[in-house]
Structure 1
Amino acid sequence: MVSSRWIPLESNPEVLNSWANAAGLVSSQAQFEDVYGLDSELLEMVSGPVKAVVLLFPSYTAFQNKRKEEDARIASEGQHPIDPTVMWIKQTISNACGTIGLLHALCNSDVTFAPESPLAKFIEECQDKSPLERAKILETTPLFAQIHEEAASSGQTAVPDNLDTDLHFTCFIQAPDAIARETETPTKSMRLIELDGMRDGPVDRGECKDLLKDVAEIVKEVFVAQSSSMYFSMMALGPPPGSEPTL
């Protein structure tokens, strides 16, 4: 149940980095940058290795219904097990999908946070909590509402009087294969996981060998192919642009 309403976040790296920096991300090691297209040549321009991808997409009623059908199918038939280390947060605040997407990206990535920062404290407090309990922590931490509002107000477009929007953020991460982890000879197999706070839970999108390229394929197949809108925006979390690549 949605409990309050925030200003929608604008989808650009400056806004996301403003939010992340204020919340405690050490930006000298990781930042968000634009993904300018889904073709391999454009994907190669993104600094790597990519740790997470945030997608803004048009969430029309027909598309929402398809996602609800997928949730129902997962509830009925199951899916590939999600690794228990994945942190998923239920969205209970209207228009907070940008902040939820950022939290999903940062809380599930190997990035560094400033000690005692809002993000460091949030992750520590959310350990062993349910998705709804994590949502409650977000609701009752005024500093996150302040960070969100300041980031939303720093965008290139004016804050709209009408806060209704049909655009929505979701996040993609890679996580260990829960099945492979439990075998006698554990492997380093990874899975592509979609994290959307408006869903019923994390969604397994298959094997993950290259996070950015695998997300691009899912976006083509699941999002772009099912929409007549061209209003999509992708940003990747990785090393600062221009920095030396790490292994």
Structure 2
Amino acid sequence: MASRWIPLESNPDANYSSWVVLNSWSIKAGLVPSVGFGDVYGLDESLLAMVPQPVKAVVLLFPISPESEARRKTEDETIASKGQPELDPTIVWIKQTISNACGTMGLIHAIANSDATLEPLSPLAKFIEQCIGKTPEERAKLLETTPLFADIHAQAASSGQTAVPTNLDTNLHFTCFVAAPSPSGEGPRVVELDGRRNGPIDRGACTDLLADAAKIIRDQYIGDSQSMQFNVMSLGPSFA
């Protein structure tokens, strides 16, 4: 990892909404105020129905555990050996090379791979434009060498409810889910974007991004876990 940032806070036990931190980052980066992140309070149908539509991306914060690391390793090896459906070549995916930058990575992946509107000439709009045609590693280097993103990340990380930690090690990680066209023309796909993986991951046909992502999160991440450190947020119409 090139350097280490302060982890972004997204605390499901906090007495304020987690989207405050994510939206602080997004507004500084250039997301228009009419679009923002909001908490998804549960993964059952009635609670999903409360989420403002249309959902443009879903962001998940989850605890890294020996079990999750074993699943990640097995899945990466399976994809490497057997492949996966062809993915949309215009997907913007960035390899994570900065420790604790997964929050920023998740937000960039969510916004860059949706139709969320950015302010013209904003830092994120310029960054996404510069990413076009570059490899994931070149995009990572671009992120490393753009001090403004480190500053925005630090400001957002410092705006959380809890004090900035002196120990920057964390076992929490962000990933995100977006809808992407299928190059084969078979309809949109749910694609998971996680900078720690070997690339974008096809998660199957997309009929309703929020409902589909909720099922993936239940099946692939929560399962029988007893942890309370999961947090799900959606990118969509702002209700703040």
- TM category, shorter: over 0.9
Alpha-carbon distance between aligned partners in 2 of 1:218 and 1:114, rounded to the nearest angstrom: 32
Q: What TM-score do you get using the length of structure 1 for normalisation?
A: 0.92
CA displacement at 1:61 relative to structure 2: 2.6
Q: Identify the residue that residue 177 of structure 2 maps to in structure 1.
A: 172
Q: Which amino acid aligns with 1:212?
A: L
Q: Identify the residue that residue 213 of structure 2 maps to in structure 1.
A: 215
Q: Identify the residue that residue 144 of structure 2 maps to in structure 1.
A: 139
Q: Residues 145-156 of structure 1 correspond to what in structure 2 (within 5 A)?
A: 145-156=150-161
- On the 8 A contact 1:63/1:226 being kept in 2, the answer is no
Q: Residues 1-247 of structure 1 correspond to what in structure 2 (within 5 A)?
A: 2-11=1-10, 12-28=18-34, 30-180=35-185, 189-225=187-223, 227-241=225-239
5+ long unaligned stretches in structure 1: 181-186, 243-247
- On the 8 A contact 1:194/1:202 being kept in 2, the answer is yes
Alpha-carbon distance between aligned partners in 2 of 1:124 and 1:219, rounded to the nearest angstrom: 30
Q: Identify the residue that residue 183 of structure 1 maps to in structure 2.
A: none
Return structure 1 stretches of 4+ with deviation > 6 angstroms. Answer: none
Q: Which amino acid aligns with 2:3?
A: S
Paired residue secondary structure (2:169): coil
Alpha-carbon distance between aligned partners in 1 of 2:188 and 2:224, rounded to the nearest angstrom: 27
Alpha-carbon distance between aligned partners in 2 of 1:154 and 1:97, rounded to the nearest angstrom: 17
Q: Identify the residue that residue 13 of structure 2 maps to in structure 1.
A: none
Q: Which amino acid aligns with 2:8?
A: L
Q: What TM-score do you get using the length of structure 2 for normalisation?
A: 0.95
Q: CA 1:226/1:4 → structure 2, altered by over 3 Å: closer, same or farther? A: farther
CA displacement at 1:78 relative to structure 2: 0.4
- Superposed CA RMSD in Å reads 1.0
Report the count of equivalent residues: 233
Alpha-carbon distance between aligned partners in 2 of 1:164 and 1:60, rounded to the nearest angstrom: 14
